[in-house]
Structure 1
Amino acid sequence: MDDFGADVFVNRDDPIPTIILDGSTPPRPRTPDTPTEFSDVETPSNRRKGLRGRFSAFKEKAKIQDQLIEKLLAQVVPMDDAQIPEDEPPPKGGSPGVVRPNFNLTTMSNNFRRFNSRIGVVFVFQARAIRLLSWRQPTHTLSFLTIYTFVCLDPYLLPLLPLTILLLCVLVPNFIARHPAAEFSLSSEQAIGYSPHGPPLAPAITVKPVKELSRDFFRNMRDLQNSMEDFSQLHDGIIKLVVPRTNFSDEALSSALFVSLFAVCLFMSVAANVLPWRLIFLTLGWVVTCMGHPAIQRQLQTAHEKHIHPQEEKARSLVGKWVERDIVLDSAAETREVEIFELQHLSGAGEWEAWLFSASPYDPLSPGRIARDKPIGTRFFEDVLPPQGWEWSEKKWALDLWSREWVEERIITGVEVETEGERWVYDIYDEQAVEKVGVIEPPVPGKGKEKEKSKAPPLKPSWEEGEDGDGRRGEWRRRRWVRLVKRKNLPEVPT
């Protein structure tokens, strides 16, 4: 008597139909209805007498089910070679949040069984929605369109809709189940209507998960399998339709789409407040719902084969001509100028020796010079490579003859600029800073301001011009070389 009147909410409707997209691969064959060996029939283990026999039967049933699910998942996810990363740890000082367990085959099988025994309500809703939109019962579809019309004409009724559904579709059926109508034979002469008075006569409706390895359990597995195929077909269809037109593999077509969407955005930003949105949504809802009627579907299919399909190529050719005529792409590759500094060091014999080619001029007040780090670069000109994603646009490097300009742009001080000849930029020799280049003496406490001012080095000009070249110079000199690069065309990756 415990199960009297208890209704288990599972999928007892027809199988969910498959979404088939044109041009896509055909779906895999559906799993047929559950065979008789999966039905709830008595087995020898279930016929054992006593509590021990029932416990052993349940244990054996759960063991077989665990082995079946684990073997199925082991074929999909090989755990021998798989490296599954753990969840990222929470940041220091932050809230730990929800700790999610890592992938585990046993946990996965348990969660799959629990999920499959409770997913029937989703398939029931899906089947009823398909039945409603396919006009299997026209009165139900027309009632839906009537409610939809009222909501579109008066959007303030939208918050009332879920409350009404809760009252009429949940509370009223549950109350009637607790207070069923009295049963009378056909020969009864008394016509007694429904009366809600009196104590409840039946148990309340409960929502329970379906039993594992039962007929309804395998129905849910069937519909879950078919829903995964539907999602895969829908996903592949959307990717095939959207991605080639938006990923700029065809730059002219993607640019035309960008211009069109930008124009639509400008129009909507101005005219969105004057459009009749109630009428638009009302018309769209009626059109979409009426397209599900079998008679209209047959007419649409005939019209598509006779009128729309022959005009598709013509429409594509018109769009292609518009794109080719009005969308102008910049075919020339982007070019930039790169620079490199040739550094030379003064040897003990008073001769300049080639040192390396560096991206930094290594001037007296550069961070590397102050920290007394060696300059970083390459020894030979041929080892200088273009930036990543670029290639050389010119065959040779060119000497920058405007040395004064790049010195002033970088606000380099303590150097001597050569305006003629090889355009070297020399360090100015400083006897007081021969061994203390870039070292700042810390202030001595207790000294006066006048004594500190007397120790300050004299200010030097931002640059100087070399004339005779007889003056003493520092230990480093550099000059600037430039070369043009262009952006490299990456080869298209085949899909």
Structure 2
Amino acid sequence: MASSSTDIANDGSGSGSLSSSIQERLFQRLLTSVLPNDHSLDGDSSGSVKDPRPDTAERPAFSLTTMSHNFRRFNSRVGIVFIFQHRLLRLLQWKTPSHTLSLCLIYTFVCLDPYLIFALPPAVILLFLMVPSFVARHPPVPNSVYTASGPAIAPPSEVRAVSEISKDFFRNLRDLQNTMDDFTLMHDKTIALIGPPTNFADEKLSSGVFLALFFSSIALFISAHLLPLRLIFLVLGWTFMALAHPALQRVVIETHAAHLAPKERRAAEAADSWVHADITLSTVPETREVEIFELQHRTTSGEYEPWMFTPAPYEPLSPARIAEERPKGSRFFEDVRPPIGWEWCEGKWTLDLGSTTWVAERCIVGVEVEEEGERWVFDQEREVTSDSRHQPSRAMFIEGSDWPAGGPTSADGIKAQAGWRR
């Protein structure tokens, strides 16, 4: 703040920077309120896939000001990467044939004697870093034979960050923009090429690819040591460099369109026929049977009204009932959903009239089973006598299969039914 005040007092130009700072702070507050925090970016407890990137708790959180500052710093220093990229492209595109051939010869020596690869790093540092730096420190005298003797007459060469108002800064912006576009196109083409055969959208196609890769991996595990790797890498490298030549590219494209494309289509048709004809997948899905209880509650008038459709019977001794929790389920039958990863078959629901069976299988007590009709299972009626009407009622829990159909009746003929049936 002190430096900003000084700028305002000196030249009156600080109002723009102050306004920009206020705008950045307001926008930063808006982003903070909209974007999730750092912990929610790594996944949540709902089962979503967690981001494989490492935890960034020790790193700064997202900030528009930090992002802008770091981008300007990055762009002022990334020029050396684009220079290397352009020089590599010139080599691959045969812009200077002698340079490209030199690269091919070096690659040949490395393929024939792989131990030479350990000599490449110091040789590259000598030829492309040390020698140019020495020549810059001891530049040649015009119109004379170059000699390396004598004191240095020029300052050392240094790689410095370019200024934000220089042409190099905007060249870096242009190259960064084009590189992002190239990466996007390459990413989309790669996903379009690899995705369909490997993501099991077409299960037969992906199964065929899986079988081919499986048997290929087994064959390579067994016979990889018999392959002439030096010759293979040498041929592949020279083939790649030859296909990168512009003149040969035109010949390859014309030959491919005239002769290879029809054969590729026939090969693809044969592979597709094998995949869809010879690979048989199980078309019968696994089926399971589920049960849903229709739970009804008794009103003060003695009538039962529909309450909920639930996967649990909500019997008197169930943990939810003892904890005085409300039953959980769907209010309407149409809202009943299958378990996660499953879907309903086309078959209709069947009313289960074997109430006695499932009551006995679950060892449910404190209920009585209706012997006729829809076989409702009622909460056990509680006995109320003249001596105990004004005392806390006591439930008499007896096995449902042994309870009489009519239920208990007190000496006074008074019944006190519980509130649920299912």
Q: TM-score, normalised by structure 2?
A: 0.69
Other structure's SS at 2:354 match? coil
Contact 1:419 1:465 in 2 (8 A): no
Q: What residue in structure 1 maps to residue 347 of structure 2?
A: 394
Q: What residue in structure 2 maps to residue 148 of structure 1?
A: 107
Contact 1:343 1:361 in 2 (8 A): yes
The list of structure 1 runs, each at least 4 consecutive aligned residues, that deviate by more than 6 angstroms after superposition, is 78-83, 345-349, 428-432
Question: Per-residue displacement from partner, 1:235-261 (whole Å, max 9, x unpaired)?
Answer: 333243333444444444344334433
Q: Runs of 5+ in structure 2 lacking a partner? A: 1-9, 21-26, 43-54, 410-416
Contact 2:111 2:230 in 1 (8 A): yes
Change (3 A) 1:102 1:87: farther
Other structure's SS at 2:64 match? coil
Q: What residue in structure 1 maps to residue 59 of structure 2?
A: 98
**How far, CA to CA, are the matches of 2:269 and 2:29 in structure 1?**
53
Give the one of 274, 280, 288 matched to 2:240.
288
**How far, CA to CA, are the matches of 1:435 and 1:149 in structure 2?**
97
Give the one of 159, 172, 176 matched to 2:135.
176
**How far, CA to CA, are the matches of 1:132 and 1:224 in structure 2?**
21
Question: Per-residue displacement from partner, 1:115-149 (whole Å, max 9, x unpaired)?
Answer: 33332212211111112122333333233233333
Q: Does 1:358 align with 2:294?
A: no
Query: Identity, % of aligned pairs?
Result: 40
Other structure's SS at 1:307 match? helix
**How far, CA to CA, are the matches of 1:215 and 1:96 in structure 2?**
38
Q: What residue in structure 1 maps to residue 175 of structure 2?
A: 223
**How far, CA to CA, are the matches of 1:295 and 1:152 in structure 2?**
26
Other structure's SS at 1:338 match? coil
Q: If each structure's helix is expressed as a fraction of its own residues, which one has the higher value?
A: 2
Contact 1:346 1:476 in 2 (8 A): yes
Give the one of 195, 203, 213 matched to 1:243.
195
Question: Per-residue displacement from partner, 1:254-286 (whole Å, max 9, x unpaired)?
Answer: 443344334434444555555554443333222
Q: Runs of 5+ in structure 1 lacking a partner? A: 1-54, 68-77, 186-191, 438-456, 480-495
Other structure's SS at 2:347 match? coil
Contact 2:369 2:405 in 1 (8 A): no
Question: Per-residue displacement from partner, 1:54-78 (whole Å, max 9, x unpaired)?
Answer: x99xx89xx89x99xxxxxxxxxx9
Q: What residue in structure 1 maps to residue 38 of structure 2?
A: 88
**How far, CA to CA, are the matches of 1:132 and 1:157 in structure 2?**
21
**How far, CA to CA, are the matches of 1:406 and 1:153 in structure 2?**
80
Q: What residue in structure 2 maps to residue 163 of structure 1?
A: 122
Q: What residue in structure 2 maps to residue 298 of structure 1?
A: 250
**How far, CA to CA, are the matches of 1:130 and 1:230 in structure 2?**
14
Q: What residue in structure 2 maps to residue 122 of structure 1?
A: 81
CA shift, 1:360, in A, is 0.9
CA shift, 1:291, in A, is 1.6
Q: What residue in structure 2 maps to residue 465 of structure 1?
A: 401
The amino acid across from 2:238 in the alignment is W
CA shift, 1:97, in A, is 0.2
Other structure's SS at 2:77 match? coil
Q: What residue in structure 1 maps to residue 413 of structure 2?
A: none
Greater relative contact order: 1 or 2 (C-alpha under 8 angstroms, separation 6 or more)?
Answer: 1
CA shift, 1:215, in A, is 3.7
Instruction: Describe how 1:11-410 pairs up with structure 2 within 5 A.
Output: 85=35, 87-88=37-38, 96-104=57-65, 108=68, 111-181=70-140, 185=144, 194-196=147-149, 198-272=150-224, 275-331=227-283, 335-343=287-295, 353=304, 356=307, 357-377=309-329, 382-383=333-334, 385-387=336-338, 390-391=343-344, 393-399=346-352, 401=354, 403-404=356-357, 407-408=360-361
Contact 1:416 1:466 in 2 (8 A): no
Question: Per-residue displacement from partner, 1:159-202 (whole Å, max 9, x unpaired)?
Answer: 443233223321232123223455554xxxxxx77344x43222
Which deviates further from its counterpart, 302-311 or 244-253? 244-253
Change (3 A) 1:132 1:374: closer
Other structure's SS at 1:342 match? strand
CA shift, 1:299, in A, is 2.5
**How far, CA to CA, are the matches of 1:364 and 1:273 in structure 2?**
71
Change (3 A) 1:276 1:84: farther
Number of residue-to-residue matches in the alignment: 373
Question: Per-residue displacement from partner, 1:210-233 (whole Å, max 9, x unpaired)?
Answer: 344444344333333333332333
Contact 2:360 2:401 in 1 (8 A): no
Change (3 A) 1:471 1:115: closer
**How far, CA to CA, are the matches of 1:124 and 1:379 in structure 2?**
67
**How far, CA to CA, are the matches of 2:400 and 2:359 in structure 1?**
14
CA shift, 1:206, in A, is 1.2
Q: How large is the Cα RMSD of the aligned pairs?
A: 4.6
Question: Per-residue displacement from partner, 1:92-120 (whole Å, max 9, x unpaired)?
Answer: xx99401134224x962x55544333322
**How far, CA to CA, are the matches of 1:161 and 1:268 in structure 2?**
30
Q: TM-score, normalised by structure 1?
A: 0.60
